[in-house]
Chains A and B, each alone.
Chain A
Amino acid sequence: MRKSALLAVIVLVAVLAAGCSAAGGRDAATAPSATGAASGTEASAASTAGSVELTGAGASFPYPLYSRWLYEYAFVNPVPRINYQSIGSGGGIRQITEQNVDFAGSDAVLNSEQKAAAPGLMMLPTVAGAVVLAYSIETPSGEAIANGLRLTPEVIAAIFLGQITTWNDPALVELNPDTVLPDREIVVAHRSDGSGTSFIFTSYLSSVSEEWLSRVGAGTAVEWPVGLGGKGNEGVAGIVKEQPGSIGYVELAYAEQNGLSYAHVANREGIFVEPSLASTTAASNAAIAEMPEDLGQVLVNAEGAESYPIAGYTFLLVYQDMPDCAKAREVQGMIEWMMSDEADAYAEELLYAPLGDEVKALVLEQLEGLTCEGGQPIP
């Protein structure tokens, strides 16, 4: 009996050892290739191609654009193999703080706590996005109301605070004398997950409404006073599409691609502006005077007659001093290219608003200041 128990232990240990050595052996066998050239498939490609591997992660909003940019950039400069994955702004900030990635993407501006946790982390805007108020409502006679319902900051805040609850509220009727609004309840749609889109929208509401600022505040996830939650831009777009009488905030690209109608919003000058790439870039240009030194600007409620007020930058986060000079050079080259006219054309094709020229100049200036391996200049 003792013998059999011993045997059992031996079998188990042998099996466990087999399992562990399978893992350990593979790891050890492939470890040298991580530092050396690369695997066989890469070596057979051009000798320089893929010799530097960059990994980035973060914001999902710019993911389609970044994947396009990196695809096109590979034709311009085949040296780096750049892998950007969409894991959300919060995830990106965490990964770059723990230095598991070489760069990160974020739609939200770093707060002071995050800055303290990752000293030397720079915020570099790449493109701007517009958050639109999408709705699906019909006139009492059954016609869908198209783009261009006019909304003021006060009315938007009141709707999202649950103070305006029907579409034929006097405040809405007064703003839209030419549209017959139905006697229908307003269904508010918002994000249920943490998101950069929510950060832009709640920052906007906080900047235009004292009551919003004190009751709810700005953030990637807040306590919504009213409404239905949807996961992701696609979730909110889905609610707006399916629910008659609904209104929600989504990125411009999602509204366009889903064929949703969206509102014209009164900006700081009181002018109703249609959300578009041009009006978003206009906001970027107009807000340059208020640009903070670290470029971490929340681009809402910008001055200027042509500025669309609910806009925001998406940022790349990189360390001012990177631990690897070869990687630092490629990061620098990549972001420089992102500021080019060629890159702008791809951005516009995918409905992202290019930065204003002065913002680009500031980004390029920051890039000049990059160093590596403890203060050395980039090779």
Chain B
Amino acid sequence: MVHALRRKLASRIMVTLTALSAAIAVSALLAVLAFVAIRGAGALNVDLLTQLPTPVGVPGGGVANALVGSLIVIGVAALLAIPVGLGAGIYLSEFGGNRFDDLVRYLADVLSGVPSIVIGIFVYNLIVSRQGHFSALSGGVALSIMMLPSIIRTTDEMLRMVPDTQREAALALGITRWRTIVSVVLPGARAGVTTGILLAVARVAGETAPLLFTAFGNPYWSARIDAPIATLPHTLFTYAISPYSDWQSKAWGTALILTAMMLITSILARRSRRFA
């Protein structure tokens, strides 16, 4: 009797503790979102979304160039990372089974743990240093390296979840191997793969460190891929550390824009999974 009571009690305590942990984890996220929303809402206005930046002491001004710049840099990154990531994922899941793909998986995991500033410095040496100038392209390359591991791993895992019976059925019908992959396996895993890509995009959208020495920043409009370009996280960073309340408030507005962008991407990712 006493024994059972003790077990019940222990169970209660542990369940409460885990529930508490879950609550803390969720409330941390909610607190961050609420804080950014409250502080950012005051700074959010049409100017912030449509105007070029102004210096301290000049009213108005916004981060429109950084908004466009972020989209360009992320676009370049996606263009580079998605084909390579998908290809590598397909290789691992469909043609693997040897020591090479264990190595690839292991290295992809290692790459995802490399600090983002290190990737920034690597790309700086690889591109910026050789070309002799900063560029949107180098920023895109840095972000694409950060996107690769998660695209590779999710593609790999999602393709593996497609039952082998489907592959065998296709092959039994005389369909070629590559046709099977393109028309049977990939469509079967489309939702999961899309989610992986979108989460990879959301993950790099907020990165500042790899852009410091690559995309560099720019107070003007620029859509050129070979010139320095402004990005939201970098603009947020420079505004946030300034002593002036004017810029600090713009930093909160920028934080809200950035958070909203990432939230929308994450929600899109979830929806794409649901409608699988």
Q: What residues make up the interface of A, taking CB atoms closer than 8 Å to B?
A: 3-5, 7-8, 11-12, 15-16, 18-19, 22-23, 26-27, 30-31, 33-34, 38-39, 41-42, 50, 53, 55, 57, 60, 63-64, 67-68, 70-71, 81, 83, 85-87, 91, 98-100, 232-234, 237, 251, 253-254, 256-258, 346, 349-350
Contact = CB atoms under 8 A, between A and B. Distances in A.
B217 A64 contact: no
A23 B129 CA distance: 18
Contacts of A55: 133-134, 216, 228
Interface string B178-204: 100100000000000000000000000
Given A27-B137, A70-B219, A100-B129, A8 B95 contact: yes
Interface in B16-72: 53-58
B179 to A, nearest CB: 10
A16 B220 contact: no
Interface stretch (B86-94, B108-116, B158-166, B264-272): B86-94
Interface string B208-227: 00001100111111111111
A33 B225 CA distance: 10
Given A16-B87, A22-B80, A60-B241, A71 B228 contact: no
A22 B95 CA distance: 25
Nearest to B177: A4
A23 B141 contact: yes
Nearest to B96: A8
Secondary structure type dominating chain A contacts: helix
Given A15-B83, A70-B219, A81-B220, 5 more contacts: A23-B76, A23-B137, A64-B56, A68-B56, A234-B241
Contacts of A99: 132
B219 A67 contact: yes
Contacts, number: 131
- B contact residues, range: 35 or more
B217 A30 contact: no
B106 interface: no
Contacts of A258: 243
A74 to B, nearest CB: 9
Contact of A19 (B54, B84, B178, B247): B84
A251 B80 CA distance: 43
Contacts of A26: 76, 137, 225
B11 interface: no
A30 B95 CA distance: 38
A82 to B, nearest CB: 9
